[in-house]
Amino acid sequence: MAQSTPAQAAPVITPNQLVVLLIVVALIVAVACLMMATTLLYLVRQKKAETAVAAEGATSEVARVSEGIFSWKKINQVLTRSVPVAQEADIDLGHDFDGIRELDNRLPPWWLWGFYFTIVFSVVYMYYFHIGSDWSQDKQWAEEVETANAQVAEFMKTKAEKVDETNVVMADATGIAAGKEIYTTNCVACHGANGEGGVGPNLTDEYWLHGGSLSDVFKLVKVGVPEKGMISWSSTLRPAEIQNVSSFILTLQGTNPANGKAPQGEKYTPEAAPAAPADTTAATDGKVALN
């Protein structure tokens, strides 16, 4: 027994598409009515011209009237209703000022042809953008936002590489966690797993050999102290990574791990941080003030 093929669902027209379709149909009908009215007016004028020509016996005008109704000359006259210079007397309104006569001219042909073109263009445009394609302002907006977000992300990557000791700020929680991994990989051998010190100085007390602010620590990691065995990490770590590990080192302040190395250098007292705006998070433990 043959199985019946399920009927395909008819395409659904959205309300917006229906409105646009109705507008397009209304425009087409309006243009058609305008063309019909223009043609009727022209035929009435033509009939009057024929009557006048018959009365005057002007053979040249008879020849003009007897042209085919679908000739280009007549079609152009229907659409533009232009009047030859020789017939300006027929449209003279009788107003004359300083030799300038007022005529009942129609709009110039070039203007009318441009107007007709815009009508056709508008129909094609509305059909293409609102009915015949899946384009929409919402879709275009979403695509542009996605592109802008990608550009912002790329810019932020570039900006992160421009961090130095003059503009470095305390990293966020994610950056500090990344800094801990960098410290574990590269710094434990000299400073201990908990910053207690070893070959290098203790990083958990208040005493520093080269300054204890975030800027000082950043510069120290970046430049190093070659004469004391600490290499420059600028060729190994990116600026953002140096920022992260420097921020992590400052979080070790005051942890007092076991087997801490004796203090070295001078005691560092953080400068007072400026009053934070009402909508920002206050610094904790004075660590942000180290910058």
CA distance 262 to 197: 9
DSSP assignment string, 51-79: HHHHHHT-HHHHHHHTS-TTSHHHHHHHH
Per the listing, tokens 């929409």 go with: 136
CA distance 125 to 202: 73
- The pTM of this model reads 0.43
Q: Residue 33: its pLDDT value, please? A: 81
Q: Residue 278: its pLDDT value, please? A: 52
Per the listing, tokens 């063309």 go with: 35
Angle at which helix 214-223 crosses helix 239-251, to 10 degrees, equals: 130
CA distance 122 to 20: 11
Please give the CATH topology (third level) of the domain spanning 173-290. Cytochrome Bc1 Complex; Chain D, domain 2 (1.10.760)
Domain boundaries, the chain: 15-130, 173-290
Q: Residue 5: its pLDDT value, please? A: 47
Q: Residue 218: its pLDDT value, please? A: 92
Tens-digit pLDDT string for the chain (291 aa):
444 444 444 455 666 677 777 787 887 888 778 777 777 777 777 777 767 766 665 455 444 555 555 567 766 666 666 677 788 888 888 888 888 888 887 777 778 888 888 998 988 888 888 787 777 888 889 999 999 999 888 877 776 678 888 889 999 999 999 999 999 999 999 999 999 998 999 999 999 999 999 999 999 999 999 888 899 998 899 888 999 999 999 999 989 998 889 999 999 888 754 444 454 444 444 443 343
Q: Residue 13: its pLDDT value, please? A: 65
Using alpha carbons, list the distances in angstroms from residue 269 to 47, 211, 251, 287.
107, 10, 15, 11
Name the DSSP letter for residue 230: B
Query: C-alpha angle with apex 231: 228 to 237, nearest 5 degrees?
Result: 155
Sign of the dihedral defined by the CA atoms of residues 59, 60, 64, 68, in that order: positive
- Residue 210 and residue 287 in contact, taking contact as beta carbons nearer than 8 Å: no
Closest CA to 195 of 239, 248, 152: 248
Q: Residue 276: its pLDDT value, please? A: 41
String of b and e for 126-157 (b: at least 16 CB within 10 Å)?
Answer: beeebeeeeeeeeeeeeeeeeeeeeeeeeeee
Q: Residue 78: its pLDDT value, please? A: 65
Burial class (CB in 10 A: 0-12, 13-18, 19+), 159: exposed
Angle at which helix 239-251 crosses helix 173-186, to 10 degrees, equals: 90
Closest CA to 257 of 170, 198, 175: 198
Q: Residue 208: its pLDDT value, please? A: 92
